[in-house]
Structure 1
Amino acid sequence: MSKEVPVAGANDRSSSSDDAAIRRASLVDTEKGRWERMWPVIACGAGLFSDGYLNGVIGSVSTMLSNIYPTTYKNSPAQRNVGSLAFAGTVMGMLFFGWSSDAISRKWSLFVSTLIIILFAALGAGSYGAGGSTSGLFAALAAFRFLLGIGIGGEYPAGSVGCAESTGELKAGTRNRWFIMFTNVQIDFGFLVAAIVPMIVVLITTESHLRVAWRICLGLGVIPPLSLLYMRIKLQEPEAFQRESMVKAQTPWVLIIKYYWFRLLIVSTIWFIYDFSAYSFGIYSSTIIDNLLGENTALWKSFGWNTLITFFYMPGCIAGAFLADIPWLGPKKTLAIGVFLQAIVGFIMAGAYSKLKDPANIGGFVVVYGLFLAFGEAGPGDNIGLVASKTSATAIRGRYYGIAAAMGKVGAFVGSYVIPIVINNAPNDTRAGQDPFFVGSSLAVLAGVLVWFLPPIDQDTIEQEDVKFREYLSQNGYDTSQMGLKNMQSESSFDGQAVQAEKV
């Protein structure tokens, strides 16, 4: 069970439910058309495609750099730094933009993070060492990747929470799936494109021109955020943020921590575990395939197998999006089922690795590994962001989400260092393949257990959470009348809409 602060009594709970229903009616019963309701969801969430692409493509870029500089890159800390420093920047971005999206603006936090992504994705593609220095090139690329990560980090608290709040105007029974479609599905689609692009680029340029190929792969990452820039300029602050923001109010930190600390700890731990596996395995999948196929295999074929593996993200994340809207299943159960199934497949893969590692069985390896990834996306991949965006009040949602997502990226950062260490310290080649899956599967079981400590989540959880949080603040002496960006009518002014709430 989740740790809740008690409310005054049954009458108060009934009042909370009524207030949430009235708020819901005021959001849904508008004169906006379908596109007017949908485009803010797209504009806020679709930028996470950049996260998937720019984080995914670095695995293939790293493989190219290892071929170009087999000594200075492959046998130096540069390989790990280039692949991992973006995660460190992302953590900083999540924390900073989580604060700014609550304390300043959802819209402008998102806009600034988009500009950062465009700038440093371009600079990363053009990385250069002074005087042609190889070490200078690696240092520049690592630095630009770190700064790029700050922009990517802003997409999570600013973009995802804005996306979650914007889904409030959509039809009941579809809100979870549309949030997922424009958040995690975008990330996974970015990973898929990041697997396809290097294969195509290497086929076009040939392996004789890898110095051009890796720059093209990174440079293409500028296009997605650039295409969203105009839409984000036109965005308005979500209605929920306009009503519940503490931009003009004093933030009651002590009350917030007392109310949310346990819930945030659970969400953050699950996200840490998920990203530990998802990002570390994803980034090194091309290296794993390359080792299975052997040193003499054409690079484009290695990228091709990596593309097939990455494709398994898509059926997993799309299926999970629809499962999250099934009333008797929902995000919480879907998350738990996904991690338990992932753990089972991971243990099977570890046990059968001695046969799967044979290059003749590469097809079987790809299928089993793909299922491991698919279950991870259908469960925690799709639903952890949804859980983080709906289990906190609007007033502090950016910071809450930012902290949870930052802990996830810490898990990714740790995983990108730990998995190679696990592989390198294994007693033999078979154990080098088995041990990472034993680690990942064991952590997945732990994540599944932790899910049961989360509160229930349904279509109207955002409105319900806002009402409960206001009541909690009022009961503890906080003046809630100072909340909101504009002079809002009193809650009683919505009484005329109470009848409409029955329809929602």
Structure 2
Amino acid sequence: MGTEGDHGGAAGSVTDDDASASQQVGLLRGEDVRRKCCGAKLETTHALVVTCVSGIGLLTDLFDFNVINIAKLLLQELYGDMTAYQEGMLTGAALIGAVIGQFCFGYVADIIGRRTTFLASALLTLIGALGSACSFPITEDKGSIYTMLIIWRFVMGVGIGGEYPLSAANTAEGVDHKSSGQSLAAVYSMQGVGKMLAPLMFVILLGCGASYELAWRLGFGAGAVLSGIGLVLRSKELKETEDFEEVQARRMQQRLANPEASEDGPGKLSSAWLIPLAGTAVSWFLYDVVDYGLGLYSGDILGADDDPFDAAAAVLAVNAIALPAFFLGIYLVRDDVLGRRDSQVVGFTGMMVIFVILVITEGSVWKETGSGAGRELKFPHGFSYWVFLMLYTTQLVFDASGPGMSTYVIPGEIFPTRMRGTCHGISAASGKIGAVVGSFGFPAMRELTGLGSVMLLNAVVTGVAMFLTFLLTPAYTSTEVGLLKEVARDGGDEAAVVLLYKGPMIREDLRRDGQDAGPATTTSSWMKDCSRRLFMYASPMRVAQAPAEDYVTNVIANELRDSRL
């Protein structure tokens, strides 16, 4: 009995110890869960801060770009008609400045960092917008005010240009790779808010009886206020990205190890990246030819008899209806929906179809009267205006949720950290060169041949852009973005490019070969896989050196194996 009692006591002791251990394990697991939850909350909060700090810049930029839509109507009422040169330069000065800003700020950001250049960009935008609001005639000729405005809007444009590569680099490097595409799309969506705020402000001011003088000055001044808010937020919340600091540390190690060796810096754009860069730059160029060619003159297209209030109300209505499309892009960019490249292809295709319909319906739904600079848009039936407005707005929906979003997102993700600012800046600058072409060419072409020929040209441009997107742009996913840093660092540039273009197909092949690549990463994955393979047959990327492809295959296989452990 004693033995039994001893055994029973021992058993009881073991039971108590087990219970205590189980409680400790449970507490530890609970602590792990708590830490993970707190970590997830902190990560989410950080991602929101990064997105907001970057997004307010693009909101301000599109506000500043679109203020001129209505402001120029007010200015002509006060200071006389502009010459064709003045009108073109007033619209295009900010775009020309943006080209310079995108090239310069993107390159400099890869040398000295994102934070410093981000603050400088916001400061320039603030100075340019404030100078525009305070402009006055510099001679007895009242029209000389246009010269002052052109100068200040150029300065503002340089600052605006810097926002594009800097906001993209800061966002892509500041959030987890799984959400980088959606975060970049969210930053881009702030452009939709900016496009709507510009005409909204004029509708409110003019509706409340504000004078034309006060209205245009407050319009430009509001841009300065928005830039000031962005500058304060960045100075308090913005820190240098860890990815850039890691690149800087690696550069320093290279200098110490071999001072005479050439650095692998932003100026070292290897030939392996020329095809991806061509894809992002050409697509953005063609997109902005259409987007800015129509967008900066939407007041002229939709306005009623050049009345500033009616024009502002019409532009506001269109931009407000199209606003949800900017946020729709955040959903479409997901890997399990359309993804980055396919969003761009679908968007360009939709725009092309709408432009073709607008060409076909000339005369039945809309028509132009007059000739030369006196052309006016007329609608032969009572419902015609609403049909035209619906078609025009539908085009904007395809625009905003498709190439408008993807041309910004893709170059922000696919290039390595060491050259991300430079390559995004080159891509964005190519876009703004297209914007200059569109903003100068649109009124000239309309004056010579009419709006119908402009719509036909836009259909051709979007069709070409759709084909080149399919040919040159990689159909990558968030998984490839997550592996890009490792592959670019250890496998070299060629392996990184192979990862972007062939990674999804390699993953699908491994799954089919029984290596359990997990569930399909996209809806209708077989269609996406077929499109990728058709793309590879036509693309310059169809040939790649075997070592690079073998390396990428091993990396993906290892990543899949690790994910199952």
> Normalised by the size of structure 2, how large is the TM-score?
0.73
Change (3 A) 1:311 1:328: closer
In the alignment, structure 1 residue 136 sits paired with structure 2 residue 140: no
User: What is the Cα deviation at residue 214 of structure 1?
Assistant: 0.9
- Match for residue 396 of structure 1 among 419, 444, 450: 419
**Whose Rg is larger?**
2
In the alignment, structure 1 residue 268 sits paired with structure 2 residue 281: yes
> Normalised by the size of structure 1, how large is the TM-score?
0.82
Identity %: 21
Change (3 A) 1:99 1:215: same
C-alpha separation between the residues in 2 aligned to 1:277 and 1:475? 33
Change (3 A) 1:433 1:31: closer
Deviation per residue, 1:399-439 (Å, 9 max, x gap): 0000000000000011001111110111xxxxx12111111
C-alpha separation between the residues in 1 aligned to 2:80 and 2:363? 28
User: What is the Cα deviation at residue 66 of structure 1?
Assistant: 2.5
Aligned Cα RMSD in Å? 2.6
Change (3 A) 1:469 1:69: same
Within 5 Å, give how 1:155-304 maps onto structure 2. 155-168=163-176, 172=178, 174-182=179-187, 184-206=188-210, 209-233=211-235, 234-245=237-248, 248=252, 250-251=263-264, 256-290=269-303, 293-294=304-305, 298-304=307-313
- Match for residue 35 of structure 1 among 45, 48, 67: 45
User: What is the Cα deviation at residue 312 of structure 1?
Assistant: 3.5
Q: What is residue 77 of structure 2 aligned with on the other side?
A: 67
User: What is the Cα deviation at residue 387 of structure 1?
Assistant: 0.6
In the alignment, structure 1 residue 365 sits paired with structure 2 residue 368: no
C-alpha separation between the residues in 2 aligned to 1:314 and 1:448? 23
Q: What is residue 340 of structure 1 aligned with on the other side?
A: 349
C-alpha separation between the residues in 2 aligned to 1:130 and 1:230? 33
> Residue 168 of structure 2 contacts residue 412 of structure 2 at CA under 8 Å; is this kept in 1?
yes
In the alignment, structure 1 residue 418 sits paired with structure 2 residue 428: no
Deviation per residue, 1:230-261 (Å, 9 max, x gap): 32123111222222347646236786331211
Within 5 Å, give how 1:103-122 maps onto structure 2. 103-122=111-130
C-alpha separation between the residues in 1 aligned to 2:493 and 2:363? 61
Deviation per residue, 1:308-340 (Å, 9 max, x gap): 122233122211210111425211111101110
C-alpha separation between the residues in 1 aligned to 2:131 and 2:446? 33
Change (3 A) 1:58 1:254: closer
User: What is the Cα deviation at residue 153 of structure 1?
Assistant: 0.8
- Match for residue 323 of structure 1 among 323, 328, 332: 332
Gaps of at least 5 residues in structure 2 are 1-35, 255-262, 367-377, 496-558
Letter in 1 for 2:243: A
C-alpha separation between the residues in 1 aligned to 2:353 and 2:221? 39
SS in 2 for 1:325: coil
Letter in 2 for 1:463: G
- Match for residue 443 of structure 1 among 452, 461, 472: 461
Tell me: higher relative CO, structure 1 or 2? Use CA pairs within 8 A at least 6 residues apart.
Answer: 1
Deviation per residue, 1:121-157 (Å, 9 max, x gap): 1111111122554243111100000010010011111
Letter in 2 for 1:222: A
Q: What is residue 148 of structure 1 aligned with on the other side?
A: 156
C-alpha separation between the residues in 1 aligned to 2:251 and 2:452? 50
Deviation per residue, 1:20-73 (Å, 9 max, x gap): xxxxxx9x97783531332122212331111110001111111222233343x2
Gaps of at least 5 residues in structure 1 are 1-25, 427-431, 477-497
Aligned residue-pair number:
440
